[in-house]
């Protein structure tokens, strides 16, 4: 968002990436996140358009039986926890870790986390993005 590289199509690109991951490993749990805030006005404008789209396309994949969820990182990190107006401080990164942890715990409580699937006698690991 900060580089203004086709932000209008960013939701579609993220959706395509999720679909590719699900196709490659249908038993994986995919957790995506809404972007943390920034003090850059242009990036904030794009994020304000992008972030609200994520729950909708995640929900459509969940409705289709996919194990996909989202974390709203804006609930965990605010602009006072940014080192340079974009990247979190150590405290901000800790807050993000709490957000990821909360999402993983939610996936566990939903019964989404299961033992690895064997493919050709070997374990297939999930994809991490």
128 pLDDT above the threshold of 70:
no
Domain parsing of the chain, residue ranges? 7-124
Task: Give CA–CA dist 97/74, Å, rounded.
Answer: 13
Domain 7-124: assigned CATH number: 3.40.50.1110
Which is nearest to 67 in space by CA: 18, 101, 102?
A: 18
Global pTM?
A: 0.83
DSSP state of 81: G
- Tens digits of residue pLDDT in 54-76: 999 899 999 999 999 999 999 99
129 pLDDT above the threshold of 60:
no
């Amino acid at each position: 968002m900060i580089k203004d590289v086709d932000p209008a199509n960013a939701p579609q690109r993220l959706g395509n990436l999720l679909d590719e991951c699900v196709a490659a490993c249908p038993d994986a749990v995919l957790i995506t996140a809404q972007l943390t805030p920034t003090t850059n006005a242009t990036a904030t404008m794009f994020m304000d358009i992008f972030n609200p789209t994520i729950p909708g396309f995640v929900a459509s994949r969940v409705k289709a039986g996919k194990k996909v969820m989202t974390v709203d990182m804006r609930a965990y990190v605010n602009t006072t926890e940014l080192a340079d107006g974009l990247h979190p401080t150590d405290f901000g990164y800790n807050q993000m870790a709490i957000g990821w942890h909360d999402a993983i715990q939610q996936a566990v409580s939903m019964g989404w986390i299961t033992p690895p699937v064997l493919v050709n006698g070997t374990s297939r690991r999930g994809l991490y993005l």
